[in-house]
């Protein structure tokens, strides 16, 4: 089986939307700082571009969780691969995700982080697939709602490939 990539969202569309979200976050956090937690690996490209467009002070931390493995669908089993380096107590936390699908991973993560006593927890995602949601999550900032298709690019991968695409594409499989 081979695959090809169809462009879903162009580089220009993604860039424009990230600028809009950065401006909104800057307004919402005016007078405060925001502690951005990037969910690795997929969220890196989005968080870096987003942070450049936020005008309030920002700090970064990183967390790696997995629920996919090498598949195109979430397994439902959440594993923490890398935990945070910094304590969260009293911080205004913004979780930065590449994509929210079933909501299982993010729901689990939010519960875990609440016990670390941040001042607030908000969620920002590049992509949202509400049609796949099985666990309710309150997403504060969403760049794009997308249909139920497997997407890559801008940090999102298929078996560790395509993360470096500057756009969001849909993986289409060909029968060989």
Which 3-state string (H, E, C) describes 86-135? CCCCCCEEEEEEEEECCCHHHHHHHHHHHCCCCCEEEEEEEEECHHHCCC
**Confidence at 56, pLDDT banded by 50, 70, 90:** very high
Mean pLDDT over each residue of the chain, to the nearest integer: 91
- The length of the chain in residues reads 176
- The pLDDT assigned to 76 comes to 58
- The pLDDT assigned to 1 comes to 63
Q: Is the pLDDT of residue 69 over 80?
A: no
Residues 96 and 31: their CA atoms lie apart, in Å, by 21
The residues annotated as belonging to the active site are: 101
- pTM to 2 decimal places: 0.90
Q: Is the pLDDT of residue 113 over 70?
A: yes
Edge to edge, the sheet with strand 151-152 lists: 2-9, 168-174, 151-152
**Confidence at 38, pLDDT banded by 50, 70, 90:** very high
- The pLDDT assigned to 17 comes to 98
């Amino acid at each position: 089986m081979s695959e090809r990539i169809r462009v879903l969202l162009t580089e220009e569309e993604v860039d424009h939307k990230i600028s809009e979200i950065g401006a909104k976050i800057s307004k919402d956090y005016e007078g405060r700082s925001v502690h951005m937690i990037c969910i690795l690996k997929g969220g890196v490209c989005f968080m870096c571009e987003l942070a450049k467009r936020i005008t309030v002070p920002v700090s970064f931390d990183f967390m790696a969780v997995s629920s996919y493995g090498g598949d195109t669908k979430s397994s439902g089993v959440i594993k923490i691969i890398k935990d945070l380096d910094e304590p969260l107590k009293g911080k205004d936390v913004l979780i930065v995700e590449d994509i929210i699908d079933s909501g299982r991973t993010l729901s689990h993560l939010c519960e875990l982080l609440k016990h670390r006593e941040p001042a607030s927890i908000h969620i920002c995602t590049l992509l949202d697939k509400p049609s796949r949601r099985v666990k309710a999550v309150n997403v504060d900032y969403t760049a794009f709602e997308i249909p139920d298709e497997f997407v890559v690019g801008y940090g999102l991968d298929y078996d560790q490939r395509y993360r470096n695409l500057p756009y969001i594409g849909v993986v289409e499989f060909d029968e060989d």
